[in-house]
Structure 1
Amino acid sequence: MTVWDRPEPPTRPVPLDRERIVAAAIALADQGGLEAVSVRKVAARLDAGPMRLYGFIATKEELLDLMVDEVHAEILPDEQPADWREALRTLAHRTRQAALRHEWLADLLGGRPTLGPNGLAVTEATLGALDGLADLDTLMRAVETVSSYFTGAIRREIARLRAERATGLSEREWQRASGPHVTRMLATGRFPALAKVVYEGTDVDAETSFATGLEWVLDAVAAKLSPPPA
Structure 2
Amino acid sequence: MSSRRLTMVSYVAKEYSGSGDPTRSMQLLWGIQERPKRGPKPRLTVEDITRAAITLADAEGLEAVSMRRVGEQLGVTAMSLYSYVPSKAELLDLMIDRVYGEMPRTDSDEPWRARLERVARGARAMYLRHPWLLQVATARPVLGPNAIARYEHDLRAVEGVGLSDLDMDLVVALIGDYVHGSVRTAIEAAQAEERTGMTDLQWWESLAPLLEKVVDWRDYPVATRVGEKVGELYQAPMDPERSFEFGLQRVLDGIEVYLKNATS
Match of 1:221 in 2: 255
Pairing partner for 1:24 from 52, 59, 63: 52
Pairing partner for 1:176 from 184, 198, 205: 205
| Cα 1:181/1:141, change in 2 over 3 Å | farther
Moved more, 219-228 or 20-29: 219-228
Cα drift, residue 91 of structure 1: 1.8
Cα drift, residue 39 of structure 1: 0.8
Amino acid at match of 1:216: R
Pairing partner for 1:7 from 16, 20, 33: 33
Amino acid at match of 1:160: A
Match of 1:117 in 2: 145
1:59-208 paired onto structure 2 within 5 Å: 59-77=87-105, 79-82=106-109, 83-108=111-136, 111-133=139-161, 134-184=163-213, 186-201=215-230, 202-203=233-234, 205-208=239-242
Are the aligned partners of 2:123 and 2:176 in contact in 1 as well (CA < 8 Å)? Answer: no
Are the aligned partners of 1:74 and 1:98 in contact in 2 as well (CA < 8 Å)? Answer: yes
* Superposed CA offset, 1:150-188 (max 9, x none): 100111111222222111122333233233344555525
Match of 2:65 in 1: 37
| Greater RCO, CA 8 A, separation 6+ | 2
User: Unpaired runs of 5+ in structure 1?
Assistant: none
Instruction: Give the match's secondary structure for 2:29.
Output: coil
CA RMSD of aligned residues (A): 2.5
Cα drift, residue 76 of structure 1: 2.7
Cα drift, residue 135 of structure 1: 0.7
Match of 2:85 in 1: 57
| Cα 1:30/1:137, change in 2 over 3 Å | same
Are the aligned partners of 1:8 and 1:56 in contact in 2 as well (CA < 8 Å)? Answer: no
Q: Name the count of aligned residue pairs.
A: 229
Equivalent-residue separation in structure 2 for 1:61 and 1:193 (angstroms):
50
TM-score, normalising length: structure 1 = 0.87
- Identity across aligned pairs (percent)? 34
| Cα 1:120/1:164, change in 2 over 3 Å | same
TM-score, normalising length: structure 2 = 0.77
Are the aligned partners of 1:17 and 1:56 in contact in 2 as well (CA < 8 Å)? Answer: yes
Instruction: Give the match's secondary structure for 1:161.
Output: helix
Equivalent-residue separation in structure 2 for 1:74 and 1:186 (angstroms):
49
Match of 2:9 in 1: none
Amino acid at match of 1:107: Q
User: Unpaired runs of 5+ in structure 2?
Assistant: 1-22
Amino acid at match of 2:155: L
Moved more, 143-152 or 107-116: 107-116
